[in-house]
A and B are shown apart, each in its own frame.
Chain A
Amino acid sequence: MGGTVITGLATDVAQLIPPMIQQVEEKIVADQIFEPLVMSGDEDRLDTGFRPAIADRWSWERDSMAVVFHLNPSARWHDGAPVRASDVRFTFALYTDPTLGSQERPALSRIDSVTVRDSVTAVFWFNARYPQQFYDAGARMLIMPEHALASLPRATLQTSTFARNPIGSARFRLSKWTTSSIELVADTTNYHGRPKLDRVIFVKVADPNAVVAGLSNGELDAGEIASPQDYQKLSAHPALRSHMLPAWDYAFVQFNLADPKRRTQPNRLFGDIALRRALTMAIDRKTLVASQFDSLGTVAVGPMTHAQTMADTTIAIAAYDSLGAATLLDSLGWKLPAGKMVRERAGQPLRFSLVVPSVSPNRMAMAVRLQESLRRMGVQLDLDVMDAAAFTARVARRDYDAAFNGTRAEASIAGLKAYWTVAGADDPAGRNSANYRNPKFDAHLDSAIGARDITTARAHASQAYSVIIADMPAVWIYEPRTAQFTHKRIRTAHVAPTAWWRGLADWSIPEAERLPRDRIGLKMAAR
C-alpha cells in the first residue's frame, strides 16, 4: 500500500454534487468519492457485465417491472454513518428533480419510483420494460447521503458546503481542495478495503502544452492528450505508457433544413436532399480526418460513435466522389460559369455560412479543411466563428445555414430523441435545431427504446440509423479520440476503456519504484 498519483485536469472542478455534474472532470473526481449501486462493465454495455458496488446482490421481480437491490450491510459513508436504502430513494429524488437539471434525468424517466423495503433493500419500479432498465437503475446514479443533504434547500445545493466537502462511500475521500488542486486520500476503513494508493491529486492544467511538459518531466503521473503531435511525442517517452480511449464524441456539419427566418418554409439550399447529397459526396472525409487527427480520430459513422453498444457502423454513407458530386450539382442547375470560382443557379451563387465554435480547436481546424474541399467544388463556404455561448444560442434559435455541431454520445440510443425527432423540431425551444423531420426515424427510434431485449432494440436502432443517414440532415465528419498516458511506475491493474479513472483505487506502485512523493504516507496536509 502506498503511493501518490497526480493527474492533470483541463478545467476547474466547480462542485461535486453528482446529479449536477456538467463536465467530465467533475465526473472523474466524483467517481472516486461516490459510487453507484453497481458498476457497469468496461464497454458500458447496458444489459450485462455488472459488478457489485454498494449493492452486493440484486433480483428482478417476475414481470421485469421492478428490480430489487440488496445493499451491502457493511457499506458506510465517510463520516461513519451506514448507507441505507433511504439514501437510494433520496438519490433518485435528487436526480429527477428538475431544479437540479441533471443530465441523467431524461434517461431516468422510465423509472416510476424507488421504494424502501427495509433499511438495506431498495426497489426500483419501472413504467416500461426496456433493455437498459438495469443500467439506469443500478449504474447511472452515484448514491448520495440523505442524512447530510436532506435538510439543505435543493435550489442552493451546488453552493452548499457539501458541494466542496462531499461525503461519499467510495474508497477515496476528500482531503483538501485548493484553487488549483483537489487531494483525495485513501479511506482506510472503507468496507471494500482501502485503496492501494495513499492519495490521488487532481491538478488543473489548462494548457495542453503544459500537460505534455508535466507528463514528460514527471510532475504529472496521468493525463489525457488529444493532439496527434503530442501523442507521438509522448509515445516515445520511456517513462510513460499510453492507453487509447474509445471515442464518445462526434462532430458533424448540421444543415438547417428550414429557412432560418421562416421555420415553416424549407431552407433555400438544404431543403433539397440532392444538394445535401452532392455536398456530402464532395467531402473526402477519410483523407480530411486522417490529415487532421492521424491515429487520434476516425471518420464518423452517423449520429453515434463506434463505442456505443447500439451503434451500427456498417450503414453506408454517400462516399467521396468529386466527379459524381460535380455532375449532381450540374444536374441540379448549380453550374460553374466560365471565369468564375463559385457555382451559380439563376444568378444566385452556391454560397452558405458555417457557424463554428471557437472553443473547439478541432472543429476550427476541420472547418478550414472543409472550406477548401468545397471551394474546389465551386461551393463558397463562409466560416462564421463565434464563442461557445454565441454558438449554442445561435443554434438553439435555429438562426443559421449550417452549423459545425458536436455532441457526446450516450450509452443509450434514447439520447437521440431530443435532437432528431419531429417532437423536438416542432417545439420552438426543442433541441432538434436542424429541423429534421421523419416519422419513420421516430418510429424506429421509439421501437428501439421500447424493445424488451437487446437484439430487437439493436435491429430497430439500426433501421433508425439507416433512415437518418439516408436523409442526410448532416455530414458526419469525425470522432476525436484521446490517449491517456500514465507513468510506468504505476501499475494500472485495469484501465476501463470507457472511463480510465474508474479503477484508480486498484492502481498501485511497487515499493522499489516509488518516488519520494509516493513515500509520504497518509500524513494529512495542513488544511
Chain B
Amino acid sequence: MRRFLARRLAHGAAVIFIAVSLSFLLLHIAPGDPFSATLASASIDPATLAQWRTAYGLDRPILEQYIRFLGQAAVGNFGPSIRYHQPVADVLAAAIPQTITLMGTALVLSFGFGVPLGSWQAAHRGTTTDRIAGTASLIVGSLPEFWLGLVLLLLFAARFPILPSHGAVDPMHDLFPLAERVIDRARHLVLPALTLALLSSASIARYQRATLLDVLPQDFVRTARAKGVAERHVLWKHALRNALVPTIVLAGLSLPALIGGAVFVERIFSWPGMGSVAVEAFAGRDYQLVAGTTVAGAVLVVAGSIVADLLHAVADPRVRAR
C-alpha cells in the first residue's frame, strides 16, 4: 500500500508541475500582461506601466521569470497578487474553504440523489418510468452549468424570491444569532450547490444504473435469489454494494468536473470561492494568482483521484492484491 501511495503521489506531483508550467507558459505567451489587462489600463501613463513591469520583473526574459517562479512555487510562495494587492496565499486561504464547502455539498447531493435514482432505474429497467427518468437525466446532464445556474437564479431568486441570489452568506450574517447563521449559510448554498449537483447527479444516475445492470446477472446475485432472499435485499444489500465500487471511483474523478463547473457557478452566484478568484486572475493576467489557483486546483484534482484509488483499493480486495 505504501508503494502504491508513493507512486500515486509522484504521479500527482508530476501532474501539478506540468499543469503549473503549462499555465505559466500559455499565459506569458498570450498578448498583454497584468498591466494591460483592463480596458482602463489604456489610460495609465506608459512610463508608469513600464515602471510597474520592471518592479514585478515582467521585463525580464521569460526563462528567467519561469525559473524564479518555480523557485518561489516550490516553497509555496507565489508572491503578491497584482489584482488583489494581497499575498496569493491569503487570497487562496479565503477562497478554498468556500469552494470545498460548495463542492462537498454538491458531491454529497449528487451521490445522494444519483445513486438511489440509478439503482431504482436498474431495478425497474425497461419500464416507462425508467425510460422517462433516463431521458430526463440525459437532458439535465447535457445542460451547460451557466444556463442551469441562470435559470435557477431567475426562478428561485427573482420570479419566486425564496432563496438568495448571491454570496455565501448574508452581508449581515455576523449579526445574526447562531441558529439563523446556520440557516443563512444553508440558504445561500442551495442554488449554487443544486446547480452543480443536478448536473453531476444525472451522470451518476446513468453510471449507477449501468453498473448495477452489469452486476444483477452475476452468479452471487442468482445464488442470493435461489436462497430465497427478498428481491429488495438482493438489490440493495447484495448487488448495490458491489455495483458501488466503480461509483466510488467516480466520486474522486468527479472533482475536475465540479471544479470546472464551479468556475461558472461561482461567477453567477458571486460565490467567493476559487472559481471566482480564478476568473479574475485569468482575466487580469495576474500571473501569481493564476499559478496559485492552478496549483490549488491541480492539488484538489490529484488528491481526489488518490482518494478514489485508495477507496477503490479498500473496497475491492483484488486491487489491494495488485
**Residues 123 to 157 of chain A near chain B (Cβ within 8 Å):** 155
* Bound: A214/B166 CA distance, A: 8
A422 at the interface (CB under 8 A from B): no
Instruction: Point out which of B83, B154, B165, B272 has the most chain A C-beta atoms below 10 A from its C-beta.
Output: B165
User: Chain B contacts of A287 at CB under 8 A?
Assistant: none
Kindly provide the distance from the CB of A385 to the nearest chain B CB, expressed in whole angstroms. 13
The answer to whether A6 touches B171 (Cβ under 8 A) is yes
* A181→B167 contact, CB < 8 A: yes
Q: Which of B17-25, B28-36, B132-140, B211-219 contacts A (4 or more CB under 8 A)?
A: B28-36
Indicate the size class of the contact surface on chain B.
35 or more
Complex interface residues of chain A between 193 and 232 (CB less than 8 A to chain B): 201, 203-207, 209-210, 212-214, 216-219
B276–A206 contact, CB under 8 A? yes
A449 to B131, CA, bound (A): 75
Given contacts A179-B94, A217-B158, A430-B46, contact A525 B38 (CB under 8 A): no
* Segment among A165-173, A364-372, A386-394, A482-490 that sits at the interface with chain B: A386-394
B255 an interface residue at 8 Å Cβ cutoff?
no
- A438 interface hit (Cβ, 8 Å): no
What residue in chain A is nearest B44 (Cβ atoms)?
A101
Closest chain B residue to A206 by CB distance? B270
Q: Does B52 contact A (CB under 8 A)?
A: yes
Most buried by A among B36, B49, B94, B166: B166
Which residues of chain A come closer than 8 Å to B154, judged between CB atoms? 209, 213
B267 touches A393 (CB 8 A): no
Q: A101 and B172: CB pair below 8 A?
A: no
**Which of chain A's residues has its CB closest to B155's CB?**
A213
Chain A residues 59 to 103 lying within 8 A of chain B, measured CB to CB, are 98-99, 101, 103
Asked whether A359 and B153 contact (CB < 8 A) given A205-B166, A520-B175, the answer is: no
Most B CB contacts (10 A, CB to CB) among A178, A407, A427 go to A178
Inside 8 A of B158's CB, which chain A residues have their CB? 209, 212-213, 216-217
What A residues does B270 contact at CB under 8 A?
180, 203-207, 210
Chain B residue at smallest Cβ distance from A397: B31
Would B38 and A22 count as touching, CB distance under 8 A?
yes
Q: Does B41 contact A (CB under 8 A)?
A: yes
- B128: Cβ under 8 A from any A Cβ: no
User: Does the CB pair A103–B31 fall under 8 Å?
Assistant: no
Judged by a CB distance under 8 angstroms, whether A245 is at the interface is no
Cβ of B174: which chain A residues have Cβ within 8 Å of it? 176, 525-526
Would A210 and B269 be within 8 Å (CB), given that A388-B37, A389-B30, A526-B174 are in contact?
A: yes
A429 B50 Cβ-Cβ under 8 A = yes
Identify which of A163, A179, A203, A390 gathers the most chain B CB atoms within 10 Å of its CB.
A179
Which residues from A are CB-within-8-Å of B171?
A: 6, 180-181, 183, 201, 203
List residues of chain B with CB within 8 A of the CB of A207. 150, 153, 166, 267-270
B251 CB to closest chain A CB (Å) equals 28
Report Cα–Cα, A216/B157, bound state, in Å: 9
Which residue of the partner chain B has the closest CB to A22? B40
A15 at the B interface (CB under 8 A): yes
A189 at the interface (CB under 8 A from B): no
- Assess the B161–A216 pair: CB atoms within 8 A: yes
Residues of A within 8 A of B49 (CB): 101
* Per-position 1/0 for B271-314, Cβ under 8 A of A: 01000100010011100000000000000000000000000000
A526 to B34, CA, bound (A): 35
- Report how far A89 CA is from B164 CA in the complex, Å: 47
> In the complex, what residues of A have CB within 8 A of residue B39's CB?
357, 359-360, 388, 391-392, 406
Q: Which of B83, B158, B169, B285 has the most CB of A within 10 A?
A: B158
Closest to A181 in B: B171
| Contact across chains for B283 and A105 when beta carbons are under 8 A apart | no
Q: Find chain A residues with CB under 8 A from B94 CB.
A: 179
In Å, the complex CA distance between A408 and B34 comes to: 20
Nearest opposing residue in chain A for B47, CB measure: A98
Q: Mark A507-527, 1 if CB is under 8 A from B, else 0.
A: 000000000010010010110
Known: A389-B36, A389-B285. A395 touches B42 (CB 8 A): yes
The reply to whether A396 and B36 form a contact with Cβ atoms under 8 Å apart is yes
The closest CB in chain A to the CB of B84 belongs to A14
Contact between chains at B166 and A393 (CB < 8 Å):
no
Judge if A106 is at the interface, Cβ distance under 8 Å. yes
The yes or no answer to A158 lying at the interface (CB within 8 A) is yes
Kindly provide the distance from the CB of B261 to the nearest chain A CB, expressed in whole angstroms.
15
The residues of B that contact A412 with a CB separation of less than 8 Å are none
Which of A4, A207, A218: most chain B Cβ within 10 A? Answer: A207
**CB-based contact B42/A408 at 8 Å:** no
Q: Name the residue on A nearest B282 (C-beta).
A: A387
Docked-complex contact B150 and A520, CB < 8 angstroms = no
Beta-carbon nearest neighbor of B30 in chain A: A390
Min CB–CB distance B153 → chain A (angstroms): 6
Q: How far is the CB of A72 from chain B (nearest CB, A)?
A: 32
Which residues in chain A, 99-123, are within 8 Å of chain B measured between CB atoms?
99, 101, 103, 105-106
Docked pose: A37 CA to B284 CA in angstroms: 34
Check: B72 CB closer than 8 A to any chain A CB: no
**Quick check: B280 and A163 within 8 Å, CB to CB?**
no
Asked if A396 and B38 sit within 8 Å, CB to CB, the answer is no
Q: How far is the CA of A98 from the CA of B86 in the complex (A)?
A: 21
Report if B256 contacts A (CB, 8 A).
no
**Within the assembled complex, what's the spacing in Å between the Cα atoms of A418 and B46?**
10
Distance A198 CA – B49 CA, assembled complex (angstroms): 40
Distance A178 CA – B84 CA, assembled complex (angstroms): 13
In contact, A408 and B43 (Cβ under 8 angstroms): yes
Nearest opposing residue in chain A for B146, CB measure: A207
Q: Which residue of A lies closest to B52 (CB)?
A: A101
- When the two chains form their complex, are residues B267 and A206 in contact, meaning their CB atoms are under 8 A apart? yes
* CA–CA, A388 and B36, complex, Å: 8
CB distance from B87 to the nearest CB of A (A): 8
Instruction: Chain B residues near A429: list those with CB within 8 A.
Output: 46-47, 50
A99 to B51, CA, bound (A): 7
Contact with A along B166-196 (1 / 0, CB 8 A): 1111011011000000000000000000000
Take A213-B161, A389-B285 as given contacts and tell me if A159 and B85 are in contact as well, using a CB distance cutoff of 8 Å: yes
Residues of A within 8 A of B268 (CB): 206-207, 209-210
List the 8 closest pairs (A to B, CB-CB), nearest first. Answer: A389-B32, A217-B161, A213-B165, A101-B48, A393-B32, A213-B158, A179-B272, A525-B174
Contacts A219-B165, A526-B174 known; list 7 others, CB within 8 Å. Answer: A204-B272, A218-B161, A388-B36, A389-B32, A391-B32, A392-B37, A525-B175
CB pairs A–B below 8 angstroms (27 shown): A6-B171, A12-B84, A15-B85, A98-B45, A101-B48, A101-B52, A159-B85, A159-B86, A180-B272, A181-B171, A205-B165, A206-B270, A207-B166, A210-B153, A210-B157, A213-B154, A216-B158, A389-B31, A389-B283, A390-B30, A392-B32, A392-B36, A392-B41, A408-B43, A429-B46, A431-B42, A526-B174
